[in-house]
Structure 1
Amino acid sequence: MKKIVIAIDGFSACGKSSTAKRVAAKLNYAYIDTGAMYRAVTYYFLENYINLTNPKAVEDALKKIHIEFHHNQRSESNETYLNGLNVEDEIRQMRISDKVSEVSALPQVRSCMVEQQRKMGRKKGVVMDGRDIGTAVFPSAELKIFMTADFETRSARRQKELLEKDQLVDLEDIKKNLLKRDHIDTTRQENPLRQAEDAHVIDTTHVTLDEQVDMILHLAATKIIDNEPSA
């Protein structure tokens, strides 16, 4: 059976990662969390006091960054490793969320991560979620999804997600963070967040996670059949 690339883009806290993980598991595809890659870079920059306004410092730092994903058998999930260390918990903190869009907007960071993401998806059979997967990383992806949800729903989901990680964050602070990230993501010069012309839009405001997964699996089945060689 031919394998395809499934690109899932959209705003923060729309359910992209949760949906992408389940879709990948159902199809036995690799799941690549590009947001985690940018978070890992942000974590490295903060830990090493990298000056974001110094292009040379940013370029030198990127040469020292190696990101991998390893499957955790116990939790049945992929975890992010930065230079050999598991940083999955660290990169989900609000201090990372506050800076990740700013770091992601840097052209050197964008270029470095896009190159790595293309290498990861070269053999196909991947589900990749992020901000510019269908428009910049894999513009020829066989299936493109653009996920959205209303702002209040996204804010509540992000607060719940943080609470599940034992992080109590005021809802107003979460809203400020999402507004800031939305602005940076949609206005940056380097591959801004936008809907690809051939993307299928899924509004997750009133849709359950299972329903989101089923929608994408249905679309994927059609694309996989279309991608099969003629007899």
Structure 2
Amino acid sequence: MDIPVIAIDGPSATGKGTLAASLAAHMGFHLLDSGSLYRILGVAVARAGLSLDETETIAQFARNLDIEFGLYGPGSVALDGEDISLIIRTDLGSDMASKVGAIPAAREALLDRQLAFRKSPGLVADGRDMGTVVFPDAIVKFFLTASTEARAERRYKQLLDKGIDAIFPSLLRELDLRDARDRSRSVSPMQPAEDAIVVDTTELNRSEVMAKVLECALAALEPNR
């Protein structure tokens, strides 16, 4: 059979990254954190001092990025040999990811990189357009959501735990702005696939979300085993 893909989409701070990593580990599947690719590209663009209007140059950057995952340990991300795992998780990384993600040429340039993650025995793909654009044939698709307040609170705690200063009202505004940008972009806008299972994580803890998604994923995979 075709290599199965489990697609997990949704806005930031809904818990999809943690869920995707846990689900992939549980099932022995490969993991694609597509958001990291856009964060890496965003940081590279910011460091190079490129204007967002230089779309073709940014697309070329995307095609030629020297990225290594796991070079400095599980979950680490290296760009040109430098560990940028923490840098891409800052506000700069998040903001620039959304901005470069709105550039059609950049999204096209990163598409092949994402498709290459599809390897046996299967893939859990985490992003914003995994189920709608990158893997429309995913065997099961999830779209995670949560209230903006709950998401801002989660992001606030994450940043403080990493020793990064954060201001809650600013995080709230930034999430609203990013959501609007991600939903309104002309190419691959963030939206649930028509056949996606929508999971509101506002009142759910990680274990509850995992249990719900795992049950649905196993049910979807069962007929193909």
TM-score range, shorter chain: over 0.9
Q: Which of 214, 218, 223 pairs up with 2:220? A: 223
Matches within 5 A, 1:158-173: 158-173=155-170
Identity score, percent: 34
Structure 2 residue 156 is matched with structure 1 residue 153: no
Alignment partner, residue 12 of structure 1: 12
Structure 2: distance between partners of 1:56 and 1:212:
40
| 2:63–2:110 Cα contact (<8 Å) kept | no
Range 211-220 or range 131-140, more displaced: 211-220
3-state SS of paired residue (2:207): helix
The range that moved more, 81-90 or 17-26, is: 81-90
Equivalent residues of 2:143, 2:197 under 8 A apart: yes
Residues 131-163 of structure 1, C-alpha deviations (whole Å, 9 max, x = no match) = 000000000000100000011101100101111
Q: 1:50 maps to what in 2?
A: 50
CA distances 1:96-145 after superposition (whole Å, capped 9, x unpaired): 22222111111111111122111111545111111000000000000100
Q: Which residue of 1 aligns with 2:107?
A: 110
TM-score (norm 1): 0.91
Letter in 2 for 1:147: L
Instruction: Pick the aligned partner of 1:186 from 183, 186, 189.
Output: 183
Residues 221 and 2 (structure 1 numbering): CA distance in 2 closer, same or farther, change over 3 Å?
Answer: farther
User: What amino acid does structure 1 have at the position aligned with 2:111?
Assistant: V
Tell me, yes or no, if structure 1 residue 27 matches structure 2 residue 24: no
1:61 Cα deviation (Å)? 2.3
- The AA in structure 1 aligned to 2:55 is P
**Structure 2 stretches of 5 or more lacking a match?**
none
Structure 1 residues without counterparts, runs of 5 or longer: none
Can you list the C-alpha shifts for 1:73-107, whole angstroms capped at 9, x where unaligned?
Answer: 5xxx4222223332111101112222221111111
> Residue in 2 aligned with 1:38?
38
Q: SS state of the match for residue 20, structure 1?
A: helix
Matched, 1:88 2:85: yes
How many correspondences in the alignment? 225
Q: CA RMSD in A?
A: 1.8
Moved more, 206-215 or 64-73: 64-73
